[in-house]
Structure 1
Amino acid sequence: MTETSHITLPAMRVSYEQGALDEQDLAATWHEQLALWLDEATKAGLPEPNAMVLATADLSGRPSSRTVLAKGLDERGVVFYTNFTSAKSHDLLATRYASATFPWYAMQRQVHVRGTVDKVSPTETAEYWASRPRGSQLGAWASPQSRVVSGRSALDSALSTIQRQFGESEQVPVPPHWGGWRIRPEVVEFWQGRRDRMHDRLRFRLGRDGWRVERVAP
């Protein structure tokens, strides 16, 4: 048997010593705290600080995860955009529930968001769509997201067809199969790595009387 790797996974570890997170450090609301950490991650120069790992499940409980980009944040929730015929959208339509994690490894932080989902309004979708580069707009029309294709040439051919279709158009319309999903959080957890794996985990939880903050053991 040929050895192809010298990686020793059991020995891989990092001591988390960059910061701490106390209750008095939190903003008044989960979305203000998330916006603060997003801003700090952006200023720190992290690549794609708005990237989040989105987890969904089908009706049989089989989970799937993938990275998407957060494109909206306010008191209503966290928004991302996708093809409504995609695998993730099929899961969301079936269960109406999702979780997402912002993994800021370089800052030894992560934020976990979990809650129900609903579609973003057509008006809000159109506003975001108008901000996208034309190439991204054309790609959204061309790609049959999550479907099996015969090869790369099939994708290139589909894009060429769409480019010809909208070649003379000043504006590319929003595809009927494309739009936004909003995760409406029930739980938002802020995680800060600490020494000896005694991490800080502060969680905003939505209850009958509104939001409350609780500390969770690492």
Structure 2
Amino acid sequence: MDRDEFAARIDHTVLGPETTWPDVEAVLDAAADHGMNACIPPAYVAQAAEYAPDVTLVTVCGFPHGQETPETKEFEAERAWKDGADEIDVVVNVGRLHAGDDEAVAEELERVVAAVPVPVKVIVEAPLLAEDELRTACTLAEEAGAEFVKTATGFSVGGATVDDVRVMAEYLPVKASGGVGSFADAVAMLEAGAERIGASSGVELVEGYDESAF
């Protein structure tokens, strides 16, 4: 994997509650300069699509807790796509998973996937799940037609782990997100089966690229 291919797997991210347009603009500029994608809050997607039309725009839905109604998530995903999002990362309802309400989780994910003609990644919040729940979440995401599963929001306990990525990669392509702060971290996730990396430190990851790692 050369540097450009590696950079294209990075979703350079800014999603904090105090995110401003200048913060988003800086992420978009860095993404454009380094060949990365950009993951930004829904509020800025339309502006970002106009500002950086050549950058792949990822945004979030039901973020960060996943406790919205299915109708709200469906609307949010559709609005983000109409504003110019190229990919949607939706947070699963972890409470429903804990309760064993798989039918509700499945219906919600199906509605979000059906609402948009762009790839949907399901954020399963793996640090909060037992392995059987993680496998259930991945199965439901796969059956709903999602294109990726994503490890974590980064706003709960923990983040991406090699063990979780290995389990998730049995079902769908994985976006490893949460705590991936160095090139070595990213390589470990890719070796475990991740296809995409979500990180606020995207620039550091790309600038730390070492071809010998691949």
Shared fold (TM-score, shorter chain, > 0.5): no
Pick the structure with more helix per residue. 2
Pick the structure with more strand per residue. 1
Larger radius of gyration: 1
Using structure 2 for the length normalisation, give the TM-score. Answer: 0.23
Using structure 1 for the length normalisation, give the TM-score. Answer: 0.23
- Bigger relative CO (Cα 8 Å, ≥ 6 apart): 1
